[in-house]
Amino acid sequence: MSNTLFDKVWDSHVVKKIKNGPDVLFIDRHLVHEVTSPVAFLGLTNRKLNVLFPEKTFATADHNTPTKNQNLPIKDPLSAKQLQTLKLNAKRHEIPFWGLGHKKNGIVHVIGPENGITLPGATIVCGDSHTSTHGAFGAIAFGIGTSEVEMVLSTQCVLQPKPKKMRITINGNLKEHVTPKDVALYIISQITTSGATGYFVEYAGNVFKQMSMEGRMTVCNLSIEMGARGGMIAPDKKTIDYVKGKEFTPQGDEFLELSKYWISLRSEKNALFDKEYLFDGNQIEPMITYGTNPGMGISISNKIPFSRDLNVNKETFEKSLKYMNFNEGDNLIGKKIDYVFLGSCTNGRIEDFREFAKFVRGKKKSPNVTAWLVPGSHNVHKEIVKEGIFDILINSGFEIREPGCSACLAMNEDKIPNGKYVVSTSNRNFEGRQGPGARTILASPVVAAAAAVTGKITDPRKI
């Protein structure tokens, strides 16, 4: 039965089915960045191949870029070479390239939607696991490895076994200061970090219907953190309104035709899923993580669980808590923190800055906190200034950096020091993810704002 949203989009992109093997899936949009592409381009050179559809390919630099003084030459020679390599590859293969300093530059998953590259019903890939973000538009979007980047560059296709289908339905109403990030962290805490491995997820129910496009992007972004290759939400009027008029969105009659098709993309009433989950939105509280994978999350007012009460490997669980220097049964409220990071493809969009600014307005940043506020793109930065958010943040003692992935993966110089605690709006609390020895507590922009002004883990509802 091919009657889910996922089936409709997937099946319409299958060029060929390989018997007892994967499907040959046609890719509408290929996003490319500096870190996972150079070896793929090298492969093209070695095979004497060209990019088959440069017009379906878009390149940006984001993972390995500085977030200060982007106008100056890059100090680290390896990083400089990697950025230069992307520039040369894009030029050689005539791929649109929005490099460092370009007004459209930003995190690949922020600029795709901003510019109408991301469209409903499309297949979108990128050599980055958070490509799942674009599923917010009812697209099938997933991360691929470098060998697959080379496949898509040279043939516009990937070979993929069709994943199983999962639906996660959440009805009810979200409470004050419960954000899309909390919804996602809640789901992952319930189904674990590998709970959706092998599946593609559809998010359904009125919590997602009521959510803004940017909120939907945050949720779909975190699909990979539950193991899913991607997650998607059926397009609705909000989706159509969002993509309308963007630079790369088709215009005029073509747009009207496409809109009709896009709005038809939804799972039928009798659609069959391989697995279904149902959660109550009213039960979700502001969330934080306490361990070293995104599934180790709790409501901010709850205590760290005991391993004996969980279905986990004791050795792995203890290793994780030891790394964080936490104990089973600890309550994290009041725990002193050192850094706050607002940004990333998870929470680096304008709504995230609005939420953060709304909370810190009229308050001051705690003197013991170093805060890195990194917009997802130049467009987001422009909007921050335009809406007066910039002034609010400056008046509260914050500085705003230039766009990029920054401390989310700490590939550039934005590294949280060894042993320090960071409340981060990013997506991964893995050991060393934000710098060797860094201790990450994942949270929403609101919880991050509460931590930034108090210098400790604080329930935003108690301020």
Partner 1 sequence: MSYDKFVKLSSTVVPLPIENIDTDQIIPARFLKATERNGFGDNLFRDWRYDENNKKKKDFVLNNQKFSGNILVAGKNFGSGSSREHAAWAIYDYGFRCVISSFFADIFKNNCLNIGVLPVQVSSTFLEKIFELVYTNPETIVNINLNSQSVSIKNSELTENFNINEYKKNNMLNGFDDIDYLLNIKDSIINFSKNTPI
**What residues from 115 to 144 belong to the interface with partner 1 (CB under 8 A)?**
119, 121-122, 127-129, 143-144
Residue 282 Cβ vs partner 1, minimum distance, rounded to whole Å = 30
Q: Per CB under 8 A, does 10 bind partner 1? A: no
Residue 224 Cβ vs partner 1, minimum distance, rounded to whole Å = 8
- Nearest residue (CB) to partner 1, 22 versus 334: 22
Strands (E), 184-235: 199-204, 230-232
Q: Per CB under 8 A, does 307 bind partner 1? A: no
Burial class (CB in 10 A: 0-12, 13-18, 19+), 82: buried
- Nearest residue (CB) to partner 1, 208 versus 339: 339
Q: How many CB atoms lie within 10 A of CB 59?
A: 23
Answer yes or no: are the C-beta atoms of 124 and 31 closer than 8 Å. yes
- Nearest residue (CB) to partner 1, 4 versus 156: 156
- Nearest residue (CB) to partner 1, 241 versus 280: 241
Total residues contacting partner 1 by CB under 8 A comes to: 80
Interface pattern 181-200 for partner 1 (x via CB under 8 A): ------------xx--xx--
Residue 160 Cβ vs partner 1, minimum distance, rounded to whole Å = 8
Beta strands 199-204; 230-232: pairing state? parallel
> Which residues ranging from 53 to 112 are in contact with partner 1 (CB under 8 A)?
53, 63-64, 76, 78-79, 81-82, 85
Sheet holding 140-143, edge to edge: 97-98, 57-60, 29-33, 123-126, 140-143
Q: In this chain, which of 39, 278, 394, 463 binds partner 1, going by CB under 8 A?
A: 39
Q: In this chain, which of 169, 175, 212, 258 binds partner 1, going by CB under 8 A?
A: 258
Q: In this chain, which of 2, 50, 147, 283 binds partner 1, going by CB under 8 A?
A: 147
Residues in the chain: 463
Q: In this chain, which of 146, 190, 212, 302 binds partner 1, going by CB under 8 A?
A: 146
Residue 158 Cβ vs partner 1, minimum distance, rounded to whole Å = 8
> Which residues ranging from 206 to 225 are in contact with partner 1 (CB under 8 A)?
224
Residue 374 Cβ vs partner 1, minimum distance, rounded to whole Å = 16
Q: Two tokens at 201?
A: 């997820």
Answer yes or no: are the C-beta atoms of 233 and 220 closer than 8 Å. yes
Which H/E stretch holds residue 439? strand 439-442
Q: Per CB under 8 A, does 165 bind partner 1? A: no
Q: Per CB under 8 A, does 18 bind partner 1? A: yes
What contacts 344, CB < 8 A, 6 or more positions away? 107, 374, 376, 405, 406, 408, 424, 425, 426, 427
Residue 357 Cβ vs partner 1, minimum distance, rounded to whole Å = 29
Q: In this chain, which of 9, 151, 211, 443 binds partner 1, going by CB under 8 A?
A: 151
Q: Per CB under 8 A, does 431 bind partner 1? A: yes
> Which residues ranging from 345 to 384 are in contact with partner 1 (CB under 8 A)?
none
Q: In this chain, which of 156, 189, 377, 444 binds partner 1, going by CB under 8 A?
A: 156
Residue 446 Cβ vs partner 1, minimum distance, rounded to whole Å = 25
Q: In this chain, which of 61, 411, 442, 453 binds partner 1, going by CB under 8 A?
A: 411
Residue 257 Cβ vs partner 1, minimum distance, rounded to whole Å = 8
- Nearest residue (CB) to partner 1, 215 versus 404: 404
DSSP state string for 376-414: SBHHHHHHHHHTTHHHHHHHTT--B--SSSGGGTT-SS-
Residues 192, 190: Cα–Cα separation, whole Å: 6
What contacts 384, CB < 8 A, 6 or more positions away? 350, 353, 375, 390, 393, 400
Residue 94 Cβ vs partner 1, minimum distance, rounded to whole Å = 17
Residue 254 Cβ vs partner 1, minimum distance, rounded to whole Å = 9
> Which residues ranging from 266 to 295 are in contact with partner 1 (CB under 8 A)?
293
Residues 12, 202: Cα–Cα separation, whole Å: 17
DSSP state string for 229-259: SEEE----HHHHHHHTT-TTS--HHHHHHHH
Query: In angstroms, what CA-CA distances link 40 with 142, 146, 399?
Result: 17, 6, 37
| Nearest alpha carbon to residue 348 among 218, 257, 252 | 218
Q: Per CB under 8 A, does 47 bind partner 1? A: yes
Strands (E), 172-304: 199-204, 230-232, 275-280, 287-289, 297-299
Residues 403, 379: Cα–Cα separation, whole Å: 9
Q: In this chain, which of 177, 349, 378, 428 binds partner 1, going by CB under 8 A?
A: 428
